Structure 1
């Protein structure tokens, strides 16, 4: 299954699609459960969704405040996808309990709506987990260096002591790709224990060099995916897409769209923790 679905010039991630389906299920269940009763939970459900989003964002920002402190406007730029799931769920539960306490007649329709939404979310997420029961590995795709040599992600991993790896799929014509590139360049410089790969999509070596030079970007491991084979192999239909692999080459996290310093820090924490767990298991079996 692709990681994102294209809708004309827009793209929506599969995770976002599951949330939308869960919300639709909640609306339908709430409407059915409130037949012949008043009030209907529709307005409450929309408010509940908003409360959940705000709570999830606030908790995420608090967790990674040092990353936002220098750029406070980034707090309201939710394009980075920085949300804390547990924080959002707690916020929704708190608001729902207050609403039911004030309007007891909402208990049944609101409860049915929340249960239906939770079941759909769990079912779709569970189905996706079953389809991906075996963790995705680094694709065995041949890529070109700017010097015309051929390499693969596994070859680069072997040359870097099998460190955790971040693979960024980008293009110079992509505005969010250009916007996040300086931040990724700084991250590469400040995280020598992580291998960063920058796989340009469909552009020539000359065009790629000219872009990097014009932006004064100094990057290691810039590769060319001229036929977009890497993008197809990982199900990417929108740029930028960033993939996070642990030291064993297993896909731990992925991010569609522009990263912020906070969302990058969060993903790096996840991939480094996964790499540490893999190392512990390897030591236990030896």
Structure 2
């Protein structure tokens, strides 16, 4: 995860962006060397691949998107299925350059970018799987305390947020709604603020407070390396963080993460 102040970019997203930049740059270079217009073909493949990847994710999680159809367009929240995107991009690239001398070298570059990006992403996701540190105590809005260790034995989700964080503000109504009926507990853990400020903000938005907890000392963020907000941790029954989503999360991505925990 790359952090700039309170903002953060997940490494897997960074790797995808770098892979796309490398592919487009290579396409331009090969086109100039071969005297062929590769840029158009590369852009077609990129755009078709992104649309197919998004469509694949939407299809897999349609029950979530059906609740809020407009969120299909919220691509900044993430949510892409790599396989349909890569297959579509490869087909479009092949059709666009089927009679061109640039097809073979650009196909090799495409395959190389996919392999490197996939390997780096797999390594980043594996590094995110770490045991949740023991001894973390959360405070409720009514000053009650709970130990995260007591939740071991069953999967649960921890969402780190703050009232001053715009992406947190946008996702909080959805998070509160899902926490209210989720079979897997979802803990909405405010970072660094006091109970009065948090309660006042929730009341102003008419949001329930039942699943909201306080982490005044930022212990979870420090212990898990979650440098940006919001961040959503998916924790299995053994207390291992199986996935970490940095940034605003969609309902579909949240439900997909919950399914993977069951």
For residue 225 of structure 2, what is the aligned residue in structure 1? Answer: 235
Q: What does residue range 73-152 of structure 1 map to in structure 2 within 5 Å?
A: 73-101=70-98, 103-128=99-124, 131=127, 135-140=129-134, 141-152=136-147
In the alignment, structure 1 residue 163 sits paired with structure 2 residue 160: no
Deviation at 1:120, TM superposition (A): 2.1
Are the equivalent residues in 1 in contact too, given 2:7–2:229 (CA < 8 A)? no
Are the equivalent residues in 2 in contact too, given 1:163–1:246 (CA < 8 A)? yes
- Normalization by structure 1: what TM-score? 0.81
For residue 263 of structure 1, what is the aligned residue in structure 2? Answer: 253
* RMSD (Å) for aligned C-alpha atoms: 2.4
- Specify whether residues 179 and 123 from structure 1 end up closer, same or farther in structure 2 by C-alpha distance, changes over 3 A only: closer
Unaligned 5+ segments in structure 2 are: none
Question: 1:218 and 1:127 mapped to 2: Cα distance?
Answer: 38
Are the equivalent residues in 2 in contact too, given 1:244–1:253 (CA < 8 A)? yes
For residue 43 of structure 2, what is the aligned residue in structure 1? Answer: 46
Question: 1:84 and 1:137 mapped to 2: Cα distance?
Answer: 27
- Specify whether residues 9 and 51 from structure 1 end up closer, same or farther in structure 2 by C-alpha distance, changes over 3 A only: farther
Matching residue within 2, 10, 16 for 1:5:
2
Question: 1:129 and 1:180 mapped to 2: Cα distance?
Answer: 23
- Specify whether residues 8 and 167 from structure 1 end up closer, same or farther in structure 2 by C-alpha distance, changes over 3 A only: closer
For residue 56 of structure 1, what is the aligned residue in structure 2? Answer: 53
Q: What does residue range 135-284 of structure 1 map to in structure 2 within 5 Å?
A: 135-140=129-134, 141-155=136-150, 157-158=151-152, 162-191=153-182, 193-272=183-262
Deviation at 1:79, TM superposition (A): 2.3
Are the equivalent residues in 1 in contact too, given 2:31–2:39 (CA < 8 A)? no
Q: Residues 212-260 of structure 1, C-alpha deviation per residue, up to 9 Å, x if partnerless?
A: 2222322434222222221122222221111111112222222222222
Unaligned 5+ segments in structure 1 are: 273-286
- Specify whether residues 154 and 68 from structure 1 end up closer, same or farther in structure 2 by C-alpha distance, changes over 3 A only: same
Question: 1:120 and 1:240 mapped to 2: Cα distance?
Answer: 28
Task: Give the 3-state SS of the residue equivalent to 2:222 in structure 1.
Answer: helix
For residue 69 of structure 2, what is the aligned residue in structure 1? Answer: 72
Matching residue within 12, 18, 22 for 1:21:
18
